Structure 1
Amino acid sequence: MDRDRSSTLQAHQIVCLADPQARLYAEVIQVMPQRQTCWVRPTLLVVADQVYNLDHCPDIIWPIAGFRPALDTEVIPLLGNTAASPLGCQYLRQFLHRLT
C-alpha cells in the first residue's frame, strides 16, 4: 500500500493527515519513495470547529502512509473559515506529537 500511495501523491497536491481530534491539510512539495516519506507544506489545521491557517509554520517530512489525497469539496469550504491565530503552529506541533 505504501508503494501505491507514493506513486499516487504528486507535487502541489493537497493531502490530508488525520487523527480522531484533528485534520491537517498540506501541499505536497516532494515525494521521496525510497524513504517512504513526503515533504509537505502545512496549509490548514482543523480542530473541532476551528480552522487554523498554517502559512507561517515550517514544512514537515512525514511518512507517506499517513497521508491521503484531499478532496476539493472538503478543502475549498475551509479556506474562507481560517482563524488568524499565532497558536496555529503550536497546535500543529501538538497534533504531530500525538501521531508519533
Structure 2
Amino acid sequence: MTWLPRLPAKCGSVEAIDSTLNLEGRPLPPSLEGISTSPPRPILTLQGLQATLYVELIQASPHNPRSGWDTPYPTRPGRPAGSTTLLWVRPLLLKQGSQVWNLHPTSDLLWPAAGFTPAYAEEVLPLMEQARDPEGSELSARQLLQEFLRQAWKRPN
C-alpha cells in the first residue's frame, strides 16, 4: 500500500489525487521501502547538573503511584491527586560541556515528565552532527546514561 502525505484542502483529497495519478496498488520504489512513514516524534531535553539529555518522546502515560497501575484518566489539570505523568522516551544524545555523545545503543526509559522541556531543531541538528560514539572513551553509552540519570534523580526540581 502506498501512503500519500496529507495535502492542504484546496489541493483536493488524497482519494482524488490517488485516482488522478493512478497510484493505487503501486509498490514503493526500492529506495523508499525501508523508510518509516510514521510522523516524526518530539525531541525533549532533561537538564542535569553538568549535562543535558536529549530524548525522543515515544508515549506519555498518566500513572498513579498508589495503585501501581496506569489509570484511565486524561493528562490534564484536575486529575486525581497523587498521579503523575510518565514518559516513555528513547535517549538520543548526551551533551556534557563541549562533548556530545551518541546514546542510540542504550535502552528506552520510563521517566517522570517533570523537568522535560521541548528541544528545537536549531539546537538539536548541529548536535547530531557533532555526536560521537563513546566506545573510544572510558565509559560506554550505557554507563554515561546511568551516571546522568543518577544525578538527575537526585537533582531537586
Q: Normalised by the size of structure 2, how large is the TM-score?
A: 0.54
Q: Which residues of structure 2 form unaligned runs of 5+?
A: 1-39, 64-83
1:35-74 to 2 correspondences below 5 Å: 35-74=84-123
Q: Which has the higher strand share?
A: 1
Cα distance in structure 2, aligned partners of 1:94 and 1:83:
18
Q: Normalised by the size of structure 1, how large is the TM-score?
A: 0.83
Residue from 73, 94, 99 that aligns with 2:147: 94
Structure exhibiting the larger radius of gyration computed from Cα positions: 2
Cα distance in structure 2, aligned partners of 1:43 and 1:36:
21
Residue from 14, 18, 24 that aligns with 2:53: 24
| % identical equivalent positions | 40
1:33-91 deviation line (CA, Å, top 9, x unaligned): 34411000000000111100011000001000121111111101101101111322211
Structure 1's consecutive aligned runs of 4 or more residues displaced over 2 angstroms after TM superposition are none
Q: Which residue of structure 2 lines up, in the alignment, with residue 6 of structure 1?
A: none
1:73-84 to 2 correspondences below 5 Å: 73-84=122-133
Write the letter of the residue equivalent to 1:99: A
CA contact (8 A) 2:49 2:152 kept: no
Q: Which residues of structure 1 form unaligned runs of 5+?
A: 1-10
Cα distance in structure 2, aligned partners of 1:45 and 1:91:
8
Q: Relative contact order: is structure 1 or structure 2 higher (C-alpha 8 Å, sep ≥ 6)?
A: 1
Cα distance in structure 2, aligned partners of 1:70 and 1:76:
10
Q: Which moved more, 1:46-55 or 1:78-87?
A: 78-87
